[in-house]
Amino acid sequence: MKVATFNLFNYLEPPSAFYDFDKIYSQEQWQKKQGWISRYLAEHQPDVIGFQEVFSPESLQQLVHEQGYEHFAVIDEAEVISDYIYQSPVVAIASRYPISELSAVTPDTGLAVAMGLKEGFSFSRQPLRATIQLPYIGRCDCYVVHFKSKRPMLEQDITDGSSPKSTFIAQALKTEISGNLGSAMQRGTEAALLFTNMIERRERTGYPMLLMGDFNDSLDSGVLSHLLTRSLRQRTDDESELLLAKYRLADAWDLYRATDYFQATDSFQTEFCRPATHYYYAKGSVLDYILLSCEFDAEHHASLFEVSDYHCYDRHLINPIYERDSESTDHGIVMVKLSLRG
């Protein structure tokens, strides 16, 4: 069973425009983008896919249906700025297996206020939860997210040029520091409120959990690290650790590196670096993740599956060919293979 997370990068059917009036795909560009996505799906055959940056869900549903995905869901819609110009793309999910339940994830307003937030706090992009009937394991809650980007929340005011350059630089620095911190706070808060919602749902249903998407940050960063919480402060007894395992999430990459599959494939390498999923100029970073509950962790006594492969499709990022990749995506596509344990 294969699970993938796929940032489509401005998936909007012409003649509509994304963000600005002139950002419109030509019919040739759109067909090229459609073909690129279809070829990936046909070649790699993921069974469940979480999508981000979806402006045109109807077009995407038709595309994935032609590739054999009978089940498709979206719970939000992009915002129309004016006429044919859109912003705020949404997330979606496609599956070869039935979706038995679908819901938007909403923040706990009481908890948000207790955290010092305003009552009207909302996710920058609405997370999606689809309960999918997976083989052997039954109902599994699959979450698709696209956390707040690193784009500063505050914009620098354009001066009339009469202010001294030092004043402009100082103001720009203050705006950038404040804007970056605001984005990080939003991103971290989204992750915390999502995870608390997942914990509550897990406690109520007991369903396995799968979280995938564009996190727009590293899991090692302080604002997202709580998604991989491994222990409780002031509770270190064995019983607490055993009970906590039910609610933990683990990075699929870490689970893969712990398996015999990885050791057999890559033991000859003294160092094996995780592939980047996004590049800013020449600097690569991992922004796209798949996190799994203990049912997919081979080290857990009650696990049914293990991560037998981890693949980041990135040739369009590191070795692009214009004729093939000019209308692809600016993210790598992460896919994991989950194998039934013997």
> How would you write the pLDDT of the chain (342 residues) with one tens digit per residue?
999 999 999 999 999 999 999 999 999 999 999 999 999 999 999 999 999 999 999 999 999 999 999 999 999 999 999 889 999 999 999 999 999 999 999 988 888 888 888 888 899 999 999 999 999 999 999 999 999 987 766 565 555 566 677 776 777 777 777 667 778 889 999 999 999 999 999 999 999 999 999 999 999 888 899 999 877 776 666 667 778 889 999 999 999 999 888 877 765 554 578 999 999 988 999 999 999 999 999 999 889 999 999 999 999 999 999 999 999 999 999 999 999 997
Name the one residue in this structure whose structure tokens are 């129309």: 80
Return the axis-axis angle of helices 27-44 and 57-66, rounded to nearest 10°.
Answer: 40
pLDDT at 340: 95
pLDDT at 18: 96
Q: What is the DSSP string of 311-335?
A: EEE-HHHHS--HHHHTTS-SBPEEE
- The CATH number given to 2-340 is 3.60.10.10
d(CA 325, CA 281): 17
Q: Mapping DSSP to helix (H, G, I), strand (E, B) and coil, where does residue 273 land?
A: coil
Q: What is the DSSP string of 178-231?
A: HHHHHHHHHHHHHHHHHHHHHHHHHHHH---EEEEEE-SS-TTSTTTGGGG---
pLDDT at 270: 47
Strands 85-87 and 17-18: parallel
For the chain, which residues make up each domain, given as ranges? 2-340
R_g (Cα) of the chain, nearest Å = 21
pLDDT at 244: 86
Contact predicate 74/90, CB 8 Å: yes
d(CA 18, CA 88): 9
Q: Can you give the pTM of this predicted structure?
A: 0.92
User: Residues 90-106, buried b or exposed e (16+ Cβ, 10 A)?
Assistant: bbbbbbbbebeeeeebe
Which H or E run contains 133?
Answer: strand 128-134
